[in-house]
A and B are shown apart, each in its own frame.
Chain A
Amino acid sequence: MSTLSNPLVEPGVAPVGTRMSASAITGGTLFRFATAGSVDDGKSTLVGRLLHDSKAILADTLDAVTRTSAERGFGGDNDSAQKIDLALLTDGLRAEREQGITIDVAYRYFATDRRSFILADCPGHVQYTKNTVTGASTADAVVVLIDARKGVLEQTRRHLSVLRLLRVPHVVVAVNKIDLVDFSEEAFRAIEAEVQSVAAQIGVSDVLVVPVSALEGDNVVERSAHTPWYTGPGLLQILEALPTLDEVERGLEPFRFPVQLVIRPQGALAPDLADADDAGASYRDYRAYAGQVASGSVSVGDAITVLPSGRTATVVGIDFAGRSLERAVAPQSVSLRLSEEIDIARGDVIAATGTFGEVSQDLYAELCWLSTKPLREGAKVLIKHGSKTVQGLVRAVTGKLDLDSFELGAAAGLELNDIGTAQIRLASALPLETYALHRRTGAFLVIDAQDGNTLAAGLVKDHPGDREGERYVI
């Protein structure tokens, strides 16, 4: 693979079976995961290894990386992946290659027979909370790296805390560089025990711990002969088997549908419909509410309530691009037609009747502060929740989380990478739901009203935090 085959001679097609997989042709399911690690624990190498060994790296890319690796003194004149700098596969920006660091979250794609994967590769050392929160917010699973020589670090504990806070469905801990501790079972078991202990303390359940060597490939894609004492699955096998967030939550969550826009074409019909006289006439009065099912499912005939107005109606149609559906589930994008002509606008939420309490103008929340501009009490901000953006006044910052002790300490403000709690008064009522119970509808953004930048990831809480000595309960 190290030399680029001449595309003029070969049409760029490998023999069937080298890369083509069943899901590559027919399309399997989609699984999103993120990686999180500390400095120099080999995360870029692990990502490079996953891409390389799952055959997601094509010859020309590998060729370029091999060339650069050789220029930098990697051993490379043979075709072994061990001899190239796998980190070069993921570090894309000029500054990253020059400085040998990873600056920003990078997205990678690969597929196996069972699944297509979207990988959010989150750098460990620059603004790690910002990056981990970003990657974890959409992830079905997060892979946390630990250096087998160092064990659980302060940053590992912080990562686990953030993942717990964001309710990432699955956490996998990869104990990397196991080759550098001579594939020692004893060393692995000690780290595994510590991981499980810390995870239990934080409240992360079902953590899977895998011994890997990203550099040598042990237990990443192929099970390793060097770790006979490890009988569990390899990392990729785990990622292929874990259920997605939607699979986990299907059937458990009530129906929620933030309205993105009202589709009411009147004179502006699609030309093919406008040209057909009879169809054009029937679509001229068409009115539907477009959005993406945020949670749960909806069927024709279901009773719905519009939030915040509280008006009720029945679903008479679920449309998608000319097709009439009987039922839609999260996260499908569809349009709903209702039995009543009621006032519904962008920002409203359509919910299954009888599943929602009261809308509120008081927001109690955890904030992951992602901006260099600090938060101060009295600040006026914008809150984006679902498809609605409203003004908010930060009445009080009620605490700051110590990610090492999980204690909530007193704070008057929040700085970059801080996680804290706050009370916010909203200009108008929102259908707020606790993030701990509703991952999709309990999340919001805090936006700077002046420059428009995103300041924080917000998670709705039930009750205001207590300043004094509260044992932090996520």
Chain B
Amino acid sequence: MSTQITETPVDEPVIEPVEIVELNSLDLLESEAIHIIREVVAEFERPALLFSGGKDSVLMLHLATKAFWPGKVPFPVLHVDTGHNFPEVIDFRDRTVERLGLRLEVGSVQEFIDRGELAERADGTRNPLQTVPLLDAIARNKFDAVFGGGRRDEDKARAKERILSLRDEFGQWDPRNQRPELWNLYNGRHTVGQHVRAFPISNWTELDVWRYIAREGIELPPLYYAHDREVFARDGMWRAVGEVSQPRPGEDVVTKQVRYRTVGDMSCTGAVASSAATVHDVVREVAASTLTERGATRADDRISEAAMEDRKKDGYF
């Protein structure tokens, strides 16, 4: 924990010498992320934050409120809604936006499908379909910088991502031609039509995120904690029974105590069996987990070894 904390109003500092204690890894990751968020806000005309209600985007928004205190968060949030989201996550998203007084932009996968501009996939997964509405929302709103909660520990392709990552007119990521990122000097220059994705929590691990959520007392959608849910087994994961995810013949529905490690599209996000009901339980569970976050819960990343790389090259998050 950082030191020298006093709860006094800011205009009456208490003058008493306080010993500096070592900054721990969470203090350092927090400081780095806030520095990056402030750089982007200072250097770009129209930044926005990708906000799904998932834990990484909730963490990002929390960091943004700290970066600009006592001012409000100086950018809107953007959600690409697959139409297959968990209702409790959408509810959480709306409450959070309301509480912080933010503007919410929504890019709707369903609308693109209804207009015939996107086709439903045979496997029913809508995660890969988010790219087109995402790029459309970026272009429509003229966003020149888009904050994401992507972390390098999530995936092998993400491990090669820059903190400020340039996207061309087609939203494409070119992993073989990235700008070198030196010291803490970030180069966000871009030409008209290009935009930049900013990943301030690049250096956080899943465990760092959970430890920080515990330390800061950050509220998350309830499905991140253990609860009873009707589920069925598919592809080695527990899938929730819902409008868009129905068991096929032979897939038995059972009620189990589960929680979600990642929250995405209902059609491809699996739950894990868990009794971790509090944030501290989750920290312990994640610390002891033998499976990666995406490997345990994301059908879309099991398609191939380079599934994430391929999606990212097309302009995905």
Contact = CB atoms under 8 A, between A and B. Distances in A.
7 contacts: A29-B28, A106-B156, A137-B182, A260-B35, A269-B70, A327-B20, A331-B28
Most chain-A Cβ atoms within 10 A of its Cβ — which of B182, B296, B305? B182
Contact of B156 (A29, A92, A264): A92
Q: Which 10 A-B pairs have the closest CB atoms?
A: A92-B156, A452-B189, A265-B71, A60-B295, A321-B66, A30-B25, A333-B34, A11-B273, A20-B287, A271-B101
A107 B152 contact: yes
B292 A92 contact: no
A24 B287 contact: yes
A319 B7 CA distance: 11
A61 B153 CA distance: 12
Nearest to A67: B305
A292 interface: yes
Contact of B35 (A90, A103, A263, A333): A333
Given A28-B25, A327-B4, A333-B34, A370 B157 contact: no
Given A25-B283, A25-B287, 13 more contacts: A23-B25, A58-B295, A90-B156, A94-B305, A108-B153, A116-B205, A137-B182, A265-B70, A270-B73, A317-B10, A326-B17, A327-B18, A453-B189
Interface stretch (B45-53, B110-118, B232-240): B232-240
B274 interface: yes
Nearest to B295: A60
Interface string A358-398: 00000000000010000000000010111100000000000
Given A8-B233, A329-B23, A273 B70 contact: yes
A64 interface: yes
Contacts of B68: 263, 265, 270, 290
Contact of A107 (B71, B159, B175): B159
Contacts of B285: 11, 13
Nearest to B270: A7
Interface residues of A, number: 110
A317 B11 contact: yes
A11 B8 contact: no
A97 B309 CA distance: 12
A332 to B, nearest CB: 5
Contact of B39 (A27, A387, A444): A387
B11 A13 contact: no
Contacts of B70: 263, 265, 269-270, 273, 283, 286, 322
Contact of A5 (B20, B101, B290, B309): B290
B210 to A, nearest CB: 10
Interface in B203-237: 203, 205, 207-208, 211, 233, 236-237
Interface string A180-200: 000000000000000000000
Contacts of A116: 25, 205, 208
Q: Which of B10, B184, B190, B309 has the most CB of A within 10 A?
A: B10
Interface string A12-35: 111110111101111111100000
Contact of B238 (A5, A8, A64, A443): A8
Contacts of B185: 384-386, 443-445
B72 A265 contact: yes
Contacts of B87: none
Interface string A87-104: 000111111010000011
Interface of B: 2, 4-18, 20, 22-32, 34-35, 38-39, 41-42, 65-74, 99-101, 152-153, 155-157, 159-160, 175-176, 178-185, 187, 189-191, 202-203, 205, 207-208, 211, 233, 236-238, 272-275, 283-285, 287-292, 295-296, 305-306, 309-310
A33 to B, nearest CB: 13
Contact of B236 (A7, A61, A332): A7
Contacts, number: 297
A133 B180 contact: yes
A14 B7 CA distance: 40
Contact of A8 (B14, B236, B295): B236
B113 to A, nearest CB: 29
A54 interface: no
A447 B180 contact: no
Nearest to B42: A261
Nearest to A91: B156
A105 interface: yes
A12 B290 contact: yes
Contacts of B290: 5, 12-14, 18-19, 58-59
B31 A331 contact: yes
Contacts of A227: none
A12 B289 contact: yes
Interface string A53-71: 0000011110010001000
B159 A271 contact: no
A269 B238 contact: no
A268 interface: yes
B288 A447 contact: no
A183 B65 CA distance: 56
